[in-house]
Structures are given as structure tokens and as C-alpha cells.
Amino acid sequence: MSFTLNDLPLREDLRGRSPYGAPQLEVPVVLNTNENPHPPSPRLARALADAVAETALGLNRYPDRDALRLREGLAAYLGHGLSAQNVWAANGSNEVLQQILQAFGGPGRTAMGFEPSYSMHPIIARGTGTGWVSVPRRADDFRIDTDAALAAIAEHRPSVVFLTSPNNPTGTALEIADTERILRAAPGVVVVDEAYAEFRREGTPSALTLLDGHPRLIVSRTMSKAFALAGARVGYLAAHPAVVDALQLVRLPYHLSSVTQTVARVALDHADELLGAVADLRAERDDLVAWLRGHGFAVADSDANFVLFGEFEDRTRIWQALLDRQVLIREVGPPGWLRVTVGTAEETAAFREALLAATGR
Ligand code: PMP
């Protein structure tokens, strides 16, 4: 007898859904999940291992439920006069976002996003029983049409508004003035998902500059991208201390393991080393954008460590042709477009060569 999930008393709104996730394939050039291509140095790996060994001596005890020392370190990293009371941390920014929706969304409430954007936002909304309203970005440059945003906010009165800047998968950054207008109009909390903040181009400010005076603004960040620590699962946010109090109502006790807290703290102590490649990755990104344009591809301006490019009649065929040449990128975003993460110089060179071969340019 075959028994599948359809035979389970699954929630109706989850029936027929597929789990989120890019294919995890073992190929030499992996440019599909916007990771930092540089692993920790052996010296840093040793420092991490030593600190974890120390932590291991106390693993019979629960971790610090409030992760206070880690939050102090994250606040110091962010600057802007923030303290531990302004910061909250969890297992990846995905968990941070989930806690935000648990506290401020939920049944009978609505969250709003400007798509194409990070596809986990609507998935986490669904998981928390929060309604989802999708407002399209402008088709020509993938920017948020602020007037359309304000109209949608007035119509739907969302409890949570997601702004992703730089946006995934388009790389588009949001102007501070637009964020401010949306903040003033939104009746609930406004989350600026800044997972890729460290890769912004010169002159693009962070929403952190708006925290003072905007107690319903939440800026979420992650150690998965610029910090090259995706495997450790550490995300965090900065907000008014009252927001942090609210999240403590929904977080599971001891959600962030002692090992995770230790690894994140040691990583912060070595921030200079871990963030050392960011300048190179930004330069590599700008080169890649110019190269793609030079070869006649359409390319979205990018403030992130990835580039959205197109347009292809059959993007699946191009994606597969690249994979056949051992280069894994992501089939995501508007139809006809593909997204490639900026890797090492060698990886990016392999991508360029494979793309020329795949498209015959
Ligand atoms: N926000 C955005 C915009 C992302 O692209 C990602 C990762 N792809 C995340 C949040 C989640 O990252 P993590 O859970 O690893 O912090």
C-alpha cells in the first residue's frame, strides 16, 4: 500500500505545494544560491574549532536564551548607535522573518511584497497563516513603483510590508526616500530585507539610517552572504527594542544553539577577514554586468553579489546547457531571465565561457 502526504491530514493550504529549494547538485562551479565563494581560512577554521571545543564543555546546559553577547557583537558591527536591545538573532534570516510574521502577521492579517522578490517571503507568510498580497515591480527596471505601492498599501492595509534591498533576484536597491514614503504610509511593520546589504554600490544607503524615529521599521540581515557563513545559519535584525520584545513572545526557547552562538561570535571577531572578499566580489560583479552587456544581454543593475540577465526564449534550455558544461546557475525571476551568483574570478570565467558556448555568441 502506498501512503503519501496526500493521505495525511495535511492543512488544506499546504496541499499540492512543493518545498522551497534550489537544486543542490555536485558540480565544479556552483553559482546558484548567492553564497560567498571563499571558505574560511584554515587559521580561522582552527579558531572556530577551538572556540567550539570550549563551548562543548558546557553542552549539558541550555544556551543563553537571549544570545546577549552575540547581539552585542552584532550591534557593534552594525554601528548606527545600536545596542544589543535593538538586535535580535536567529537561525538564518529566514527564521528571523518567520518570527516577524508569527508576531505581526498570522490568520486574518496580510503581508505585502513587491515581486519578483525573494520567494521565501510568501512561503513564510503561508506557513504562518498570513495572507499574501503581491504588487508587481516596474517591468523595465525592476524598481518598486512607489505610487503603486502606496495605493496598494491604502487598499490592503497590510500588517507587514516586505521591501527587499538589494532585491533578490533582480539586484535592485531601494532609494531611502521611497522607503521613507512607504514607512509613513504603512499601518503595520515594514521589513527591509537587507540580506545583501554589504554588496551595495557606493552611495546606496542602508535602511539602518532610518531606524531612529521609525519604531515600526525592521531591518533584517544575515551572516550567510557577505560574511561567508551560510553553513552556520545566523541571521539577525535591527529594530526598536519594542520589536525585539515582541519577537520574544514567539521565539522558541533556546532557539539558537550554544555552538551557533559561539561560531557567530568568533566570526564577528574575524569580520575583517571574512568580509575581506566583499570589495573584490563587488568589482567582479560590476565587471560581469559590463561583460554581459557588452555581449548583448539584458542585465538588471545590481547592488548584490548576483546578476539577473536575459532575455531568453527558452531559459530552461540555457540553464541546462550551462549545467552540461558544469556550471550551475539559478532559473529564477521573471520569465526569460536567469540569475548567476558572482563567484571567484575562475568560477566567473568558467560561467562566461559556458554562456558563450550555450548561446552561440
Ligand atoms: N533574504 C533574502 C533576500 C535572501 O536572498 C536570503 C537567502 N537566499 C535570505 C533572506 C535568507 O538567508 P539566510 O536564512 O541564510 O539568512
Question: For the chain, how many structural domains are there in total?
Answer: 2
Q: Give me ligand 1 centre to Cα 150, in Å.
A: 26
Same domain, 282 and 214: no
203 and 295 assigned to the same domain: no
Residue 10 lies in a domain: no
pLDDT tens, 291-309? 999 999 999 999 999 999 9
* CATH number, position 240: 3.40.640.10
One domain, residues 242 and 340: no
Ligand 1 in reach of 89 Cβ (< 6 A): no
- State the pLDDT confidence band at 18, using cuts at 50, 70 and 90: confident
Please indicate, yes or no, whether residues 306 and 174 belong to a single structural domain of this protein: no
> How large is the C-alpha radius of gyration of the chain?
21
Q: What is the mean pLDDT of residues 229-247?
A: 98
Residues 303 and 170 in one domain: no
Which pTM does this prediction carry?
0.97
Q: Ligand 1 center to residue 195 CA distance, Å?
A: 6
The per-residue pLDDT for 8 is 95
Residue 119, classed as helix, strand or coil, is coil
- Decide if pLDDT at 22 tops 90: no
Confidence band for 361, pLDDT divided at 50, 70 and 90: confident
Does 6 fall in a domain?
no
Q: Are residues 205 and 269 in the same domain?
A: yes
| Percentage, residues of the chain above pLDDT 70 | 100
Mean pLDDT over 153-167 rounds to: 98
Over residues 101-149, the pLDDT tens digits come to 999 999 999 999 999 999 999 999 999 999 999 999 999 999 999 999 9
Q: Are residues 151 and 300 in the same domain?
A: no
Are residues 308 and 183 both part of a single domain? no
> Is residue 1, in this structure, part of any structural domain at all?
no
Of the residues 233, 258, 273, which one is the last residue of a structural domain?
273
Any atom of ligand 1 within 6 Å of the Cβ of 168 = yes
Among the listed residues 60, 59, 69, 156, the one whose alpha carbon sits nearest the alpha carbon of residue 113: 156
Same domain, 176 and 237: yes
Question: Which band of pLDDT confidence, cut at 50, 70 and 90, is reported for residue 1?
Answer: confident
For the chain, how far is it from start to end, CA to CA, in angstroms? 53
- The answer to whether residue 345 sits within a structural domain is yes
Mean pLDDT (the chain, rounded): 96
Is pLDDT at 83 greater than 90 in this prediction? yes
Ligand 1 atom index nearest CA of 33: 8
Domain shared by 66 and 199, yes or no:
yes
Of the residues 241, 273, 305, which one is the last residue of a structural domain? 273
Nearest to 175 by CA among 141, 125, 216: 141
**Distance, CA 222 to ligand 1 centroid (Å)?**
7
* Residue 284 and residue 261 in one domain: no
Look up the CATH number of the domain holding residue 27: 3.90.1150.10
247 plus 306 within the same structural domain: no
Give the pLDDT band (50/70/90) at residue 20.
confident
Residue appearing with cell numbers 572556530: 48
Considering only CA atoms, which residue is closest to atom 14 of ligand 1? 92
The answer to whether residue 5 is domain-embedded is no
The 3-state secondary structure of 12-71 reads: HHHCCCCCCCCCCCCCCEECCCCCCCCCCCHHHHHHHHHHHHHHHCCCCCCCCCCCHHHH
**Domain membership flag for residue 199:** yes
Q: Which of 221, 249, 273 is the last residue of a domain?
A: 273
> What pLDDT is recorded for position 354?
98
pLDDT at res. 237: 98
Q: Among 74, 123, 193, 229, which is best to mutate for testing ligand 1, by the most ligand atoms less than 8 A from CB?
A: 193
Q: Does ipTM surpass 0.95 in this model?
A: yes
What's the rounded Cα separation, in Å, for the pair 276 and 38? Answer: 10
4 within some domain: no
Q: Is the CB of 170 under 6 A from ligand 1?
A: no
Assess if residue 102 is contained within a domain: yes
- Domain boundaries, position 334: 23-41+276-359
